[in-house]
Amino acid sequence: MHTVVVGTSGVTASDVLAVARAGARVELSAEAVAALAAARGIVDALAAKPDPVYGVSTGFGALATRHISQDLRSRLQRNIVRSHAAGMGPRVEREVVRALMFLRLKTVCSGHTGVRPEVAQTMADVLNAGITPVVHEYGSLGCSGDLAPLSHCALTLMGEGDAEGPDGAVRPAGELLAEHGIAPVELREKEGLALLNGTDGMLGMLVMALADLDTLYKSADVTAALTLEALLGTDRVLAPELHAIRPHPGQAASAANMLAVLTGSGLTGHHQDDAPRVQDAYSVRCASQVAGAGRDTLAHARLVAERELASAVDNPVVLPDGRVESNGNFHGAPVGYVLDFLAIAAADLASIAERRTDRLLDKNRSHGLPPFLADDPGVDSGLMIAQYTQAALVSELKRLAVPASADSIPSSAMQEDHVSMGWSAARKLRTAVDNLTRVLAIELYAATRAVELREGLTPAPASRAVIEAVRAAGVQGPGPDRFLAPDLAAADAFVRDGRLVAAVEKVTGPLR
C-alpha cells in the first residue's frame, strides 16, 4: 500500500487524494516529530508562566478574557472539543472526512501548533486503522476554521462520539480505538484548540473537486467534439492560429483537444444543399471559449489550493522565535472564493452542453437528424425526456452557482463577526460536480447516437473508439424506445470514472 510521509512543509494534492480516496497509509517524518517536540516545549514554558496566553491559559472566542488556572486546563481542552462537536444533518462522505483529518495532521506537523508528537501520531494511527469519525453536513461557517467538523474528528481521538469502522459500521469511537490498540488522547494546553482551528474541510473538498473537474473538462471537450461532428459542423474554428490571437491558455487547450478528437472525421464540414450554413451556432462554435475560461478558473483555484497545502493554519501559532501569536489565517475567504468560482464555471459548462444536446434533438436545427433522435418519431419519443432531465440538472447547477462566500453571518457574541461560508461553498460544489457529470453523460449519450445515425459518413477514429467503448459499457445505441434510465446511469458511470477520456486518449494520446 502506498505510504504518504508528512513533514513540516505541507503536502501535495496527490497526497490528499491518496489518503482520502485510495486509503494510503500515513507516517510522520523524523523532521516533523522534532518540530512537534520543539513547539510543544515553547507551549509548556508559556503554560508555566502566570501571564495569560490565548489558547494556552485563556478561554476561547468571546470568552478569551478569562484566565484559566492550571488545574482546569485539561478540562478546558476537552470541553472545547465536546462543545464544538455540534454538527447536525446528514453524514459527510468518508473521503471528505479522511481529507479533513489528514490536512489537520499536515498543519499539526508543521511545528506551528504546539501539539505533542503523540497526539499527531494518534491522528495518523486513526487514519491508518480506517476509522472515520461521523461528521455532519452543518456546523461550519468557514471561519475559525471548520470548527464543528474538526471537533467531531477530535472527539474520536478522545475516544468519544461515534465513528465508522473499516467495515463501514458506525460504532462508539472508544470501542473502535480499543480494537485497533489505539489509546485515546488526553488533551493538554492548546491541543484541543489546535485540532479544531483550520480550513481543512473546505480545502480537502477543493482538492478533490479540482481532480474531478480536470477529468470533466476533458470530457466536455470530447462531448462537444462529438456533437460538432454529429451536426456536420466545421472544425476550422478550432485552428490553433485562431486561438493564438486570443491567448487564453485554457481556450487553446480545449480547442486542441477538440481538434484531436475530430482528426480524420468524414462528417465535419458538410453543409446540406437545402440548408447551407456559413457558421455553426454559438454552443458549437464557442465551445472551446467557454470550456477554456473554466479551465483557466481551474488553474487559479489550483494555485490557491497549492498555497493552502503549504500553509499552517491555526490560531494562535507558534513562531520560530518562540512567540505565540494570535492571527486571522483561519479565515476561509481564499478557499471560499475559488470554490464559488468553480461552481459558476461548472454551471456554465453544463449550460452550453445542454444547448448542444437540445440542438441534436430538434429536427429544425439538427441538419437532417430525426426528431429527438427517435427510431420512429411519433411512435417513439427518443431522447425527449433525457433532455428534460438534463435541463433540470442545469437549472439546479445555476442555483448552486449563487456564491456562498458573498454571505456572512456573525457568531460568537460578535467576536466572529465576519465569516467565509467556505464549507458551504465546498458542499454545494460537490453537488455541482456530480450534476455536471450527469449533464455531460446525457450529451455523450445523444451525440454518440446522432453520429451513428449519420449513415454513409465515417466518424473520426477517436469518435469510433468512444462509441465502441460506451457500447461495451452497456450504453445502447439507436433503436426503438426502451427503459432509458439504465442507459443514462451507465453513461454517467462511463464519464465519472474517466473511461470516456481514456477511450479517446488511446487514439489521440494524452489530452491537455
Hey, which residues are catalytic here?
Answer: 54
C-alpha cell at 9: 512543509
C-alpha cell at 444: 455523450
Query: In 3-state terms, the chain is what percent helix, strand and coil (to 5)?
Result: 55, 5, 35
Contacts 24+ apart (CB under 8 A), 146-149: 146/100, 146/198, 146/199, 146/200, 146/201, 146/202, 146/332, 146/423, 147/84, 147/196, 147/197, 148/84, 148/85, 148/86, 148/87, 149/87, 149/92, 149/97, 149/100, 149/201, 149/423
Which phi-psi region, left, alpha or beta, contains residue 203 (left: φ > 0; alpha: ψ -120 to 50)?
A: alpha
C-alpha cell at 290: 467557454
Residue with cell 506551528: 112
Instruction: Compute φ and ψ for 295, nearest 5 degrees.
Output: -60, -40
Residue whose C-alpha is closest to residue 17's, from 218, 211, 298, 213 = 211
Cα separation, 296 vs 227, whole angstroms: 23
Which phi-psi region, left, alpha or beta, contains residue 145 (left: φ > 0; alpha: ψ -120 to 50)?
A: left
Cα separation, 339 vs 425, whole angstroms: 6
In one-letter notation, the amino acid at residue 467 is: I
Cα separation, 431 vs 89, whole angstroms: 16
Query: Which residues fall within 8 angstroms of residue 264, CB to CB, at 6 or more apart?
Result: 460, 461
Cα separation, 391 vs 491, whole angstroms: 17
What is the end-to-end Cα distance of the chain in Å, rounded? 30
In one-letter notation, the amino acid at residue 211 is: A
Which phi-psi region, left, alpha or beta, contains residue 234 (left: φ > 0; alpha: ψ -120 to 50)?
A: beta
Residue with cell 466545421: 234
DSSP H helices in 263-375: 282-285, 287-309, 333-361
